[in-house]
Amino acid sequence: MNSYERLCFNLLGMRMKGQREQYAQLRNDLISARLKTPFEVYLSTAFVSSILVGLIASVFLGLITWMLKIPQLIKYKGEVPEVFMVLAQNSLILGTIFVVIFSLLVFGGITYAIFIVYPSVVAGNRRRNIDATLPYAINYITAMSTSGITPAEVFRQLGDSPIYGESSVEARYISREIDIFGRDLIDALRIVSSSTPSLRLKEFLQGSMASISSGGNLTNYFRTKADQYALENRQTQKMFLDTLALIAESYVTAMVAGTLFMIILQSIMSVLGGDSKPMFLYLIIYLMIPFGTLMFVIMISSMTPES
């Protein structure tokens, strides 16, 4: 907790403690995202930051509106009601007040929304990373367990292996519950499984708890899940490649052949019609092709699994 967060907590921390039930989803997102900021501190920072950003934006835009006299640039044509004529005499003051209030609400609201949504975004990124690295992490766990290492030490070794990304982070939380808080392995697995953002990891940890509680062979369980997730990973990769091939064909058809056909057609029509400024041709070249390509890039990037 830095000095700014400490200041925000001193201002609103006691009031935020009574908001825990109303922000239950935010608390869960903070835990799933593994953010180290406590709930009361984070919510206090969100409120104070929203107010500060709203005030700064409203003062800045209000000064610009007042100095440039923007409301007075608006001219009414035709007959208007009598009340608008009265308001027009004070248009600068009223317009500046409106801009200040509007800026305060909009920029403050956007800042607050960003603070509320940010933990869920981080948790979603962690979920994708865990799902991508989990098959390889389970193979590592299986190899360690086959050599006779205890389950607690297996998760501890996994936590010390950063190459497995967020799966290693979850394993470190299991080790923390055991080493620092003195819990047994089943309680540690239960706590982490209830807070992890990945459903696949939650299922794996709950299965491990059931196997330990029933006295089953944990190594066989690890081996079975490793085979299952390896098969699912191959199926996911095959499905992604098939989808990628379909997107590539769509791109060639729409953004290469389609735009080339429209450019040739529009060029011929412009020459025959004597149009010196073919606006539709400019729209195709400078708007449709760049933004269409950008949309395909964003779509592929969002679909690509974590490496």
Domain ranges of the chain: 3-122, 127-230, 235-303
Over the stretch 251-261, which tens digit does the pLDDT of each residue have? 888 888 888 88
The token pair at 215 is 């006295």
Beta strands in 116-246 (DSSP E): none
Contact assessment for residue 117 and residue 188, using Cβ atoms and an 8 Å cutoff: no
The span from the CA of 230 to the CA of 132, in Å, is 11
The span from the CA of 271 to the CA of 285, in Å, is 17
Contact assessment for residue 177 and residue 191, using Cβ atoms and an 8 Å cutoff: yes
φ/ψ of residue 146, rounded to 5: -65, -30
The span from the CA of 246 to the CA of 259, in Å, is 19
Beta strands in the chain (DSSP E): none
Write down the residue that tokens 């990769």 correspond to.
Answer: 237
pLDDT for 168 equals: 93
If DSSP states are collapsed to H, E and C, what string results for 96-127? HHHHHHHHHHHHHHHHHHHHHHHHHHHHHHHH
Q: What is the pLDDT along the chain (307 residues), one digit of tens a residue?
A: 678 888 888 888 778 877 777 888 888 999 999 988 888 899 999 999 999 999 999 999 888 888 877 766 666 555 555 555 555 666 677 778 888 899 899 999 999 999 999 999 999 989 989 988 898 899 999 888 888 888 889 999 999 988 888 999 999 999 999 988 888 889 999 999 999 999 999 999 999 999 888 887 888 998 898 888 888 888 888 888 898 899 888 888 888 888 888 888 888 887 777 767 778 888 888 888 888 889 888 888 877 765 5
At residue 93, the 3 state secondary structure works out as helix
Contact assessment for residue 196 and residue 170, using Cβ atoms and an 8 Å cutoff: yes
pLDDT for 85 equals: 54
pLDDT for 82 equals: 55
pLDDT for 202 equals: 93
pLDDT for 76 equals: 59
φ/ψ of residue 295, rounded to 5: -65, -40
DSSP, residue by residue, 156-174:
HHHHT-GGGTHHHHHHHHH
pLDDT for 6 equals: 86
At residue 33, the 3 state secondary structure works out as coil
pLDDT for 74 equals: 63
Number of other residues whose CB lies within 10 A of the CB of residue 229: 20
49 contact partners, CB below 8 Å, separation of at least 6: 8, 111, 115
At residue 278, the 3 state secondary structure works out as coil
